[in-house]
Chains A and B, each alone.
Chain A
Amino acid sequence: MKIFQNRAFKTSSVLLAVAFSATTALAEDFTKGSKAKDFGLNEAVQSTFSAKVVDLLCEVAGDCTDNCGAGNRQLGLVRDADNKLIAVLKNGQFSFNGAVEDLLPYCNQKVEVDGIMVGDPEEHNTQFYMVQFIKAEGAAEFNKANKWTKAWAARNPDAKGKGPWFRRDPRVIKQIEANGYFGLGKDADIAYAKENQ
């Protein structure tokens, strides 16, 4: 009986320890140590954590490639602390840039990231991530998550010129030439300009 009691006590202790770990992970303060800027964005919360970089299609649909889609797929982060899959919408640049160029070098690898969670969790069930800094797990220094614009320039050598990339991007220019700035045709652009300029 005494042995049973000891076993029951040990089992209980182990279960409690596991439960406590789960509680700790769910309640972990990811703001601690963050140096990210919140830019006053909607419900922005600083958030730094360790995670694995994943191909979202592979992670949610089992549609996998060897190289996370080689830049043609959206990537995400599976956070170590709670195994939560976090959708990454932005890198740290402020010229309409996503995060794939910054995450892709770490495909299926462990990283540490610093950035902000944004969006109203009450309205949209969760929040989404803007990665501002990233480094391989255990590396000394964070790197700025700002690779997109240089990668775009390398892909578009014929789009050189003045002004930001998005005014020179061939795919954007093609759509605006076809459908105008409001997507409603050139007549809508002219009508708007006549009324407002």
Chain B
Amino acid sequence: MKPYSKILSFAAAGIFTCFANVSLAFSATQAKPIEIKGEIIDTWCYLSGVMGGEDAVVGSAHHTCALWCAAGGIPVGVLDEDGQIYMVLKLKGEGSLAKTDNIMEIQSDVITAKGMHYVRDGVNYLVVEDVIANEGITNLNHLDYGSVPPNSFPENFLSKQ
């Protein structure tokens, strides 16, 4: 074999192996059982920054907006203590867009859940089999940020009571 052919062969094999591995890494789905504790969040507002910084689009300040987004079909996530987001695909046997109250009732709550964790292309996905603890809303950040967005709390609230 001429030297240039040998070099070409090694180069091609190396590049091919590299990209084959990258491709497999991107497409494979890893699955494992998980017990996770975190806050139920609205993924769009948290990731896009549309309503402000990450500290403002969680907790009590953002609760009504989180209800709007969950009812609107935007994926709900669990934000764990390390700042990782897990997109909820299923909750207690039903799809996360089922038109029931299950996913609405835990918005902004800190929960502990058991289920299956899947990773694909950098995204954490979660199938929640059971919510084993619910601490309710623990982040009272409306005391710092008010309601986020502001129109998620009614004007002249007291006069309407």
Contacts and interface: CB of A to CB of B under 8 A. Distances in A.
A183 to B, nearest CB: 4
A196 B156 CA distance: 10
B90 interface: yes
Interface in A63-78: 63, 69, 71-74
B122 A125 contact: yes
Given A22-B20, A89-B44, A192-B142, 10 more contacts: A12-B9, A12-B11, A63-B90, A71-B97, A86-B121, A124-B85, A176-B64, A184-B60, A188-B60, A193-B158
Contacts of A13: 8, 12
A100 B6 CA distance: 52
Contacts of A121: 122
A41 B48 contact: yes
> What interface size band does chain B fall in?
35 or more
B99 interface: yes
A148 to B, nearest CB: 7
Interface in B77-107: 83, 85, 87, 89-90, 94-99, 101, 104-105, 107
B87 A172 contact: no
20 contacts: A11-B9, A12-B11, A15-B12, A16-B11, A16-B16, A23-B19, A39-B50, A72-B97, A82-B23, A83-B26, A89-B48, A90-B48, A97-B72, A100-B97, A126-B122, A126-B123, A182-B64, A182-B137, A184-B60, A184-B140
Q: Which of B2, B11, B95 counts the most chain A CB atoms within 10 A?
A: B95
Q: Which of B65, B73, B75, B108 counts the most chain A CB atoms within 10 A?
A: B73
Given A87-B87, A181-B63, A69 B97 contact: yes
B75 A61 contact: no
A110 B157 CA distance: 49
A60 B27 contact: no
Given A23-B19, A57-B127, A197 B156 contact: yes
A174 interface: yes
Contacts of A83: 23, 26-27
B66 to A, nearest CB: 8
A190 B67 contact: no
The 5 closest A-B pairs by CB, nearest first: A98-B73, A126-B122, A42-B49, A15-B12, A125-B122
B87 A197 contact: no
B6 to A, nearest CB: 8
A171 B97 contact: no
A18 B16 contact: yes
A169 interface: yes
Contacts of A182: 60-61, 63-64, 137, 140, 142, 147, 153
A89 to B, nearest CB: 5
Nearest to B13: A15
Contact of A101 (B16, B73, B95, B109): B73
Q: Which of B12, B83, B85, B153 counts the most chain A CB atoms within 10 A?
A: B12
